[in-house]
């Protein structure tokens, strides 16, 4: 491979087929709490909803919350030391993606990725694929990383300050 080869996409890939990035609506939904757990919650929409309608359908949001809270026992496997994390519900074009992340080992975030397809949107399943996050979700992850550093890894760890630092941008 030469330096000029790096200018070319692999065979069969056409640069013109890549979509143009378009921001998606995002909203911080507050905290989900269970026992000692506190989970900052966000939602992303693939398509804007009509004015006056729910940002995320209440039954989808309730199902996502129940799913995440049912995952809490699994956190013990890696360590749920701080019982503090964040979740992102991404209402996508072909599926709903639900990322549940929690902090452990000082500066490590763990993730369980779940999804529900458009045919059964209220049935979340664990993903075993190597998918982690899309460009929209990583904007929230980046905010959470910076927030953890600013409020917890600062020599004077403040859980309340971290939990109160929600991303407020209207789009990602």
Its pTM stands at 0.92
Pairing status of strand 125-126 against strand 108-117: antiparallel
How do the residues of the chain divide into helix, strand and coil, expressed in percent and rounded to 5? 30, 30, 40
pLDDT at 3: 61
Q: Are 102 and 67 in contact (CB under 8 A)?
A: no
Q: What pLDDT is stored for residue 94 in this prediction?
A: 82
Q: Are 85 and 103 in contact (CB under 8 A)?
A: yes
Instruction: Give the Cα separation of 38 and 140 in Å (integer).
Output: 17
Give the pLDDT score at 16: 87
Residue ranges per domain, the chain?
22-164
> Residue 17 contacts by C-beta under 8 Å, 6 or more apart in sequence?
none
Q: What is the pLDDT of residue 28?
A: 96
Tens digits of pLDDT across the chain (172 residues):
666 677 788 889 888 888 999 999 999 999 999 999 999 999 999 887 766 678 999 999 999 999 999 999 999 988 778 999 999 999 987 899 999 999 999 999 999 999 999 889 999 999 988 888 999 999 999 999 999 999 999 999 999 999 999 999 999 9
Residue 166, token pair as written in the block: 């929600």
Q: What is the pLDDT of residue 79?
A: 78
């Amino acid at each position: 491979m030469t330096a000029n080869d790096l200018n070319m996409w692999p065979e069969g890939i056409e640069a013109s087929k890549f979509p143009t990035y378009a921001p998606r609506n995002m909203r911080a939904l507050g905290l989900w709490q269970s026992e000692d757990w506190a989970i900052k919650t966000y939602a992303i929409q693939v398509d804007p909803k009509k004015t006056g309608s729910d940002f995320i359908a209440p039954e989808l949001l309730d199902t996502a919350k129940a799913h995440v809270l049912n995952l809490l026992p699994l956190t013990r496997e890696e360590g749920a030391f701080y019982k503090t994390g964040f979740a992102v519900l991404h209402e996508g074009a072909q599926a709903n993606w639900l990322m549940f992340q929690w902090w452990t080992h000082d500066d490590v975030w763990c993730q369980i990725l779940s999804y529900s397809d458009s045919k059964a949107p209220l049935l979340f399943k664990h993903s075993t694929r190597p998918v982690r996050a899309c460009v929209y979700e990583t904007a929230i992850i980046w905010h959470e990383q910076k927030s953890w550093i600013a409020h917890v890894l600062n020599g004077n760890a403040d859980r309340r300050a971290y939990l109160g630092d929600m991303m407020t941008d209207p789009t990602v």
